[in-house]
Amino acid sequence: MERVPVLVVGGGYAGLSAATLLAWREVPVTLVERRPGTSVQPKAFGVGPRAVELLRPVPGIEEELTGLWAGIGDGMRIAIARDLADPEPHLITDGEHAYLADLTPAAPVGVPQADVERVLRVKAEELGADLRFSTELVSLEQDGDGVTALIRGKDGDSLVRADYVVAADGHHSPVRRALGVPTSGHGTLSRMCSIMFDADLSDLVREREVTLWYLRNETFTGVLVTGAGAGAHVLGVHQAEDEGPFPVERCAELVRLATGRPGLDVRILDRATFGIAHELAGTYRAGRVFLAGDAAHTMPPTGGQGGSTALQDGADLAWRLWLVITGQAGPAFLDTYDAERRPIGTLTADAQLAELGARMPPAARIGYPERQTDPLHALLGHRYHSTAILDEPGDDGSILEDPRQAGGRPGSRAPHVVLDWDGQRISTIDLFGPGFVLMAAKRGRQAWMEAGRLVKERLGVRLTRLPVDDELLDVEGCFEQRYGVRGGGAVLVRPDGYVAWRSPEAVADPAGTLERVLRQILSRPISGTAPAVITRG
């Protein structure tokens, strides 16, 4: 029987991000995917800045994604129109992302899911992840010590014994069903045929490259994603429930209707049907199995955050599992995944359901909620609440905030501040990923740095100590204000770039305080000082 710390089921966004970031942290991981390879269809389009922040610590990923995006235009524009030739489309967004520059060094990238999956697959394999395509999970049984999985591949059946399983096996998630995890939501809302085609749309696209069009006309409602002029494009058209896949001739006819060009020369490259659904898992954890991506939260594509949310799920599980597997955190720490990610998954799914009602009303058969989420808040303003966050007195428990007003409070994404490190300009965001980071204000930095050294040795925790305005120069003089540590305090940031705890002021016993904080955050006993055995760092 094979043994591995983590078995990942599913090779989409959530599964590949989990496998990549586990392998980067030197945690052995096996991924099984029933398909022969990564996606052929573009599927989800665009990766949000928060997902990019979580992927960018892995060398090369951000550069490859931005390289695929380079030269395509200044961002994705979204419009509602009759067809692509509509002279007066209703513009939803102009694609400009300049406002994000003050909040993060990670820009969103308008890359199709098929390309992102290929990048992640290559990177995961380079880092040592065992990725097995054309391989499916047949069954699993778990006990108090692990999970035994029967998998079936080209060479027959075999057993794998894993400490933990990441179920990233899609909307219908056989793993979720086998575990009896309940779901809620509106279920399947409609069906869509996705048509990948090759045509020259240069005279229509002009300066509007990589534009997402929501189309409404007498024949159909759907969505069209255009590439840069000639080449591959994708049209999604709503189908009746009893309709099978459209024949090639029908697909070509729909493309011509969507583009407003009756004589367009069209070559159909691929066809696929899928359901648009709104379904939410009642828990993201069932023993040693964790749900991620569509297995945890299936949402309509309107709004464009489904793929990024799945990527974040996988990345989030990777650092939490790493901490527990290496002994830096106690087993109960893994409960924080459900506590933190499920409210965000629900909020995002509901927001995209509202967008479906606004952008594709003919497809609506239910009463949709009204749009309430500020797009900027949804991109970078998620807040977490769990035992891995030490809330401050008076915290209102909100799960969304304006990231421009976050102020470094626990449960918030750590603010972007420009620093100078040996003559090189970096962001505080560049410091997060490999482990915990302790940053101290100028007045109290010596005491906090010594406390960090002592606690790191006592607990065996991967902790980087960074005194601001010593090794790191606060270029704009705003670190203390943005992180709320003006009184000689310090701030502790988690591997995912979220503030776990802060002390606005200096304290009498910084080492004792920091040790108690880390023990509480990591679900470790308050007494005892034996160091953990760590495989990385």
Strands 130-133 and 29-33: parallel
The 3-class SS string of 354-399 reads HHHHHHCHHHCCCCCCCCCCCHHHHHHCECCCCCCCCCCCCCCCCC
Whether 400 contacts 381, CB under 8 Å: yes
The residues near 376 (Cβ < 8 Å, ≥ 6 apart) are 99, 402, 403, 404
Give me the phi and psi of 267, to 5 degrees please.
Answer: -125, 120
Helix (H) or strand (E) holding 515: helix 510-521
| Chain-centre distance for alpha carbon 531 | 32
- Three-state DSSP state, 172: coil
User: What gap in Å lies between CA 166 and CA 14, rounded to an integer?
Assistant: 9
The residues near 310 (Cβ < 8 Å, ≥ 6 apart) are 12, 13, 14, 17, 168, 292, 293, 294
Burial of 247: CB neighbours in 10 Å, binned 0-12, 13-18, 19+ = exposed
Gyration radius from the chain CA atoms: 24
Whether 281 contacts 296, CB under 8 Å: yes
User: What gap in Å lies between CA 195 and CA 450, rounded to an integer?
Assistant: 60
Report in angstroms the alpha-carbon separations of 488 from 131, 432, 437, 492.
48, 22, 17, 14
Selected catalytic residue, list 13, 99, 164, 214: 214
Q: Report DSSP state, residue 533.
A: P
Number of C-beta neighbours around residue 284 at 10 A: 27
Number of C-beta neighbours around residue 59 at 10 A: 11
The token duo for 482 is: 């943005």
214 given a catalytic annotation:
yes
> Rounded to the nearest 5 degrees, what angle is found at the Cα of 337, between the Cα atoms of 335 and 342?
115
The residues near 4 (Cβ < 8 Å, ≥ 6 apart) are 28, 29, 30, 130, 160, 161, 162, 163
Among candidate residues 146, 130, 163, 149, the one with its CA nearest the CA of residue 29? 130
Among candidate residues 180, 168, 174, 170, the one with its CA nearest the CA of residue 6? 168
Indicate which residues carry an active-site annotation.
Answer: 214
